[in-house]
Amino acid sequence: MKTEISGVTIELRQGDIAQQADCEAVVNAANAKLETGGGVAGAIHRAAGPGLADEARPLGPLKPGEAVITGAHLLPNNYVIHCLGPVYGKDKPAGPLLASCYSRALDLAEQEKVTSIAFPAISTGIFGYPVEEAGMIAFTTILEEIPRLKYVTRIVYVLYSTEDLEMHKHMFAQLL
C-alpha cells in the first residue's frame, strides 16, 4: 500500500527490516546498550555483522525515546538509526516516548540528508506495546512530521506478519 502526502510517499509493506535494500536508512528497535538482541535488533545486527555493535555501543546507553545514527556495515543500506522504544507499563508516559522515537529518527535522517527510511513497529514485540495503539502513535507522528521534511521523500513502514500489515493498512486508511 502506497500513499503520497505533500510530496512524501508512505508505504506499508510486509517483510524483514534487515532486507530493505531500497531504503537509505533502516530503523532498529534497539536496546539501551545498543547491542544485539532478539526481534528487529537481532535481525539487524546479524545481517550487519559485529562492526555495527562496535560502532553503536559507545553512543549508548540510550534512554527511552532517544535515537542515534550509525553506518549500516554489511546491511544493504547506508545508515541504521537506533531507537529505544518504551517498555509498555514501565516507561512513562509511553505514548510521547514512542512518538519521540519516530520524530527523533526523522530528525537524524534529515540531518544526514537521507531520502528514504524504513521503520519497524517499535516497542510492539518484546517491549509489549499493544500493536494497534502503537501503530496509531507511529502514523500520527509521521503525518505530523511530514510538513517539516526537506530530504526524506519516502517512508516505508515494515510489518513482520501479514496480519499486522492488514491491521495497519486499515488503521492508516482511517487516518487519511
Kindly list the residues in this chain that would bind ligand AR6 in the complex (CB under 6 A): 16-18, 29, 31, 37-41, 43, 85, 120-127, 158, 160
Q: At what angle do helices 94-111 and 131-145 cross, to 10 degrees?
A: 40
Cα four-point dihedral sign 63, 64, 66, 71 = positive
Q: Which CB sits closer to ligand AR6, 102 or 127? A: 127
Query: Which letter does DSSP use for residue 159 in this model?
Result: E
Closest distance to ligand AR6 from the beta carbon of 160 (Å): 4
Q: Which CB sits closer to ligand AR6, 126 or 146? A: 126
Closest distance to ligand AR6 from the beta carbon of 96 (Å): 16
Q: Are 78 and 71 in contact (CB under 8 A)?
A: yes
Closest distance to ligand AR6 from the beta carbon of 38 (Å): 4
Residues in CB range of 106: below 8 A, 6 or more apart? 117, 142, 145, 149, 152
Closest distance to ligand AR6 from the beta carbon of 113 (Å): 25
Q: Which CB sits closer to ligand AR6, 33 or 107? A: 33
